[in-house]
Amino acid sequence: MLRRFSFLFLVSWYIFAVVFAQAAPTPWLGSPEGLQPALPLGWPPVNAEGAHVQVVAREYRFDNGPFLSGIVAKEAEILAGPIEAIVSSAEGEQKLVGAPAQIKSTSPAKVTLHANAAAGPVAIDSASTVELDGMIRTDFTLASPTGATIDNFTLRIPLRAQYAKYLYHYPGQWGSVRNAGALPAQGWSHAFKPFVWLGDETRGLGWFAESDQNWTPLDNPQAITITRHGNIVMLELHVIAAPRSLRQPLRFTFGFQATPVKAPTRDVWDYRICHEGNYGIETTLYRPPARVMYPAAGNIDLRQGTVEMWIRPTFDPNLPVPHGDRGLLNQELFSLQLPHNYTIGYYWNVDDHGMRLYIQHRSQYPVLIGERSFWRKGDAHHVAFTWGKELCLYVDGKPAVRVPYQGPLAPALDKGNIMLGGTHAQFIIEELRISSVQRTSFPPTRQFARDKYTLLLDHFNQVNTKVRTIQPIKGRPGRLSAHVAAVDNGQSLQLSRPGPDVTYLDRLAELGVRTIVFHEQWSDIQNFPDFKKHGQQLQSLVTACHERGMKLLLYFGYEMSNTAPTYKDFADECLVAPRTGGYTRKPDQTAYPVCYRSHWQDFLAQSIAQMMDIYDIDGVYLDGTANPGACTNGRHGCGYESINGDRRPTYPIFAVRRLMQRIYNIVTTRKPDGLVNVHQSTVMTIPTLAFATSYWDGEQLGSVSRVMGALESLPLDSFRTEFMGRQWGIPAELLCYGQPYTYPQALAISLPHDVLVRGTGWDNLELESSLWRAMDSFGRQEAKWQPYWANADLVQATPASIKVSLYNRGAKGVMLVVSNLGNSAVEAAVTLNTKALGLPNKTMATDVLSGKSLFWTGNKLHIQMEPLTFRLVLVK
């Protein structure tokens, strides 16, 4: 009751807001949404004492002035010495040193410190803020009271080499992961980049700056260098590398952030996100395609013949025909898919209320015949069509339609297929016979006999639904898709999912989905809550999701559409400059990237809050929203005029970070377990991602062709750097749209890293669902994860292409993820140190997904593995 009351209250509030909005056209401008609380839910407060600051999983020390003298991340000191600020002037090279930083103010969410340092004629004055996620913002001036000219100003960040194995830098490049991977043996150098991170699989350190303003010279190809010195990896920022007068102080803002930024208690295995959101999925019946495919060659003669079947409709053939999309009510039974764009189709047509036959060549239909029948659901009927001297349709043994169509159905069979079923095929087929003669009489027996004219005869009694094959009595064998079921005690085939009808939403619930993302099409205007038209549908969908214990996330993104009411007044101020992109979608519109340093930040915050308040959604899916893309739009403070006279970009890291924190607050103050799921491919800028509950990465490779091996396009060191989430502190999910690897291949790469691939498409979702279930019944939550790069004392695997990661529950068993990441099939030999793992003496090894026992000697496993495949093996 209370909920109903608050909903009505919110609706009236909204009506009021809309009415008010007409008087004041921009009620969102200056919105305070998300600015409170200062300490976001779930974060421990910042702790400071002296020059030392503690945040979750890390401690920072500022013993020498403005810059860090020590960083402990995940119990390890990662600096090999203090960060040093070095200047060169007429007085030679000197280190700027200062007293320990002094705390100026503290609050649960942040600490500010003041520090200065000096050397010869040069001084630094700095104010640093350390925020709850360990983001340090240091604003400092480099000045000289005497107006000295300096030749050099460098920040030297010495890292212990064992914690600087991997390098990530932003921006990256679409189509590659070259900006993420093992730190090259020879080190690395680059012109200014706004974000650089070095780390290992557990921790790291990021440095960032929004622009290269005051860096000298501009475009110095060696502005950022990383060099190796024994056990030290030295990251150097060559801020001034050419003579520069300090008559005017130079201002800089640098950011530092050690990782991981938090210790998540839930990850993508808990969130179970899918992307199947749409209006009406709570009422539309789930009718997955179900097909049987036989090769056409040898199974049919195009010159003359007969196709006949005994069938039972499992739909109601007498339902009234609705207006609108009636095609969805047709029921596909039989088709011949032939080369040169020929299709012969034989199906139940909703307008005829009976069987129809057509020959289609490209967009032409030289034959289209049908006849009404008066069938009832579940009754058995003999249906047939014949060709040669004429075309005939038979129903229950009697001729129904005849047309004078002579000769072959199509010119060639080649590699064509015979298909039973399709997307909508609510039939049980008892018998199929294809003959090389035009039959004219059909005995009423329910089982067909084989004679000298029989090319294909199937009683459907030799069906293997596990390996999805079918062996006819006569003719070449076929293959089954998922959802084809053997029924009638294995004597018939059901061309649809057996059991009672379920809706799409129910099916998602059955699969174990917990979070549904509704992509951009939830609103007719891109990244804009134009919900007037769909309000009721959205309300119904949210309610239905909640009734099933599922969350619904709505899409918000990075653009403003030219159909948005705000476009006319706010495009110039809010869009990224120079204007980029131009994404088009239906209904007709073009959307351009916005910069969240602009007022559009308030719009987005207000919109998300509004959608949560009115529709009770459970969080957001953010497409690129966390990406601090380059922008020169001075109307909202981006970009700057360089001394060369050109306008150079800002990467608005702090503004995007602020928006992300606001969104996190908006979501979690309303729903403590709400989600902020970020899609950020190529962009691992941790200060803008820290408030995400998980990220979804990998679209940058979606346009890479399969010619390149999957691991060549996504090498393991790159995966460990950008796609694993662990050392960043944010749960990760891999994106795969079928290129450059298939969904199961992508899993072979991701699973050894404890990372799931979001199941897009039903087949993929079903595979992902089986992984969720396998890990649930094993008890992944209670297991210790021991990845392939750190488990040599527990498991050895050959050949080298085999990677094995373990989920260890000791005496309760071990789950192995075994992946063959090579390009050829191998016999994998996996030897477990059963004693060290704490396994009992007598154990069995089972392939969890197939349920089959594996060859297991008690400590050694042998598995035949195709390239880029994985197995989930349970040893207990």
Part of the chain binding Zn ion (CB under 5 A), chosen from 131-139, 578-586, 625-633, 661-669: 625-633
Q: Is the peptide bond before 171 cis (omega within 30 degrees of 0)?
A: yes
Measured from the CB atom, is 209 or 710 closer to Zn ion?
209
Per CB under 5 A, does 96 bind Zn ion? Answer: no
Q: How far is the CB of 638 from Zn ion (least distance, A)?
A: 3
What is the rounded distance in angstroms from the CA atom of residue 863 to the CA atom of residue 857? 12
Where are the extended beta strands (E) located within 609-689? 619-623, 640-641, 647-648, 675-679
**Minimal distance, residue 598 CB to Zn ion, in Å:** 6
CB of 688 to Zn ion, least distance (A): 14
Select the span of 524-532, 623-631, 718-726, 805-813 touching Zn ion (CB under 5 A): 623-631
Task: Show the binding pattern over residues 576-595: x = contacts Zn ion (CB under 5 A), - = does not.
Answer: -------------------x
Helix (H, G, I), strand (E, B) or coil at 127: strand
Residue 122 or 577 with smaller CB distance to Zn ion: 577
What tokens does 208 get?
A: 């960032």
**Residue window 595-614: x/- pattern of binding to Zn ion, with contact defined by CB under 5 A:** x-x-----------------
CA 840, CA 125: separation in Å to the nearest integer?
A: 63
Going by the DSSP 8-state scheme, the letter that residue 388 receives in this structure is: B
Q: How far is the CB of 599 from Zn ion (least distance, A)?
A: 11
Point out which span in 32-40, 385-393, 635-643, 778-786 binds Zn ion (CB under 5 A). 635-643
Stretch of 28-36, 332-340, 400-408, 628-636 lying at the interface with Zn ion (CB under 5 A): 628-636
Cis (ω within 30 of 0) for the bond into 158?
A: no
Q: In what order do the strands lie in the sheet with 70-73?
A: 47-49, 52-55, 58-61, 70-73, 76-77
What DSSP string runs through 703-744? TS-TTS-HHHHS-HHHHHHHS--TTTTS-EEE--SSSSS-HH
Nearer to Zn ion, 350 or 638 (CB): 638
**Cis before 740? omega within 30:** yes
Query: Least Å distance between CB 629 and Zn ion?
Result: 8
What's the CA gap between 456 and 507, in Å, rounded?
A: 35
Which residue matches tokens 């998922």?
482
Pick one of 119, 258, 638, 730: the residue that binds Zn ion (CB under 5 A): 638
Q: Which is nearer to Zn ion, 433 or 597 (CB)?
A: 597
In angstroms, what is the minimal distance from the CB of 137 to Zn ion?
18
Position of tokens 């476009």?
567
Applying the rule CB under 5 A, the residues between 492 and 521 that interact with Zn ion are none
Is the Cβ of residue 64 or residue 633 nearer to Zn ion in the bound state? 633
DSSP 29-63: TT--TT---SS-TTPPPPEEETTEEEETTEEEE-T
- Separation between Cα atoms, residue 506 and residue 618, nearest integer Å: 19
CB 575 to Zn ion: min, Å: 9
User: Binding residues for Zn ion, how many (CB under 5 A)?
Assistant: 5
Closer to Zn ion at the Cβ: 435 or 633? 633
In this chain, which stretch among 154-162, 269-277, 536-544, 631-639 interacts with Zn ion, using CB under 5 A?
631-639
Contact 600/560 with Cβ under 8 angstroms? yes
What residue type is 634 in one-letter code?
A: G
Rg (CA), the chain: 33
Please report, as residue ranges, which positions from 253 to 292 form the binding site for Zn ion (by CB under 5 A): none
Question: Which one of the spans 27-35, 395-403, 512-520, 633-641 is the region binding Zn ion (CB under 5 A)?
Answer: 633-641
Tokens, residue 682 = 């190529």
Minimum CB distance to Zn ion, residue 633 (Å): 5
Q: How far is the CB of 558 from Zn ion (least distance, A)?
A: 12
Q: Which amino acid is at 98?
A: G
Rule CB under 5 A: choose which of 304, 526, 607, 633 binds Zn ion. Answer: 633
User: Within 10 A of 578 (CB to CB), how many other CB atoms are there?
Assistant: 12
Q: How far is the CB of 525 from Zn ion (least distance, A)?
A: 22
Q: Which of residues 697-736 bind Zn ion (CB under 5 A)?
A: none
Stretch that binds Zn ion, among 395-403, 626-634, 706-714, 717-725 (CB under 5 A): 626-634
Q: Quick one: 286 or 640, whose CB is closer to Zn ion?
A: 640
Helix, strand, coil proportions of the chain in percent (round to 5)? Answer: 20, 35, 45
| Shorter beta-carbon distance to Zn ion: residue 156 or 647 | 647
Q: Which residues contact 132 (CB under 8 A, 6 or more apart)?
A: 39, 40, 43, 44, 45, 46, 55, 56, 108, 109, 110
Instruction: State in angstroms the smallest separation of the CB of 577 from Zn ion.
Output: 7
Residue of 631, 660, 730, 735 that binds Zn ion (CB under 5 A): 631
**Min CB(626)–Zn ion separation in Å:** 15
Binding residues for Zn ion, rule: CB under 5 A, are: 595, 597, 631, 633, 638
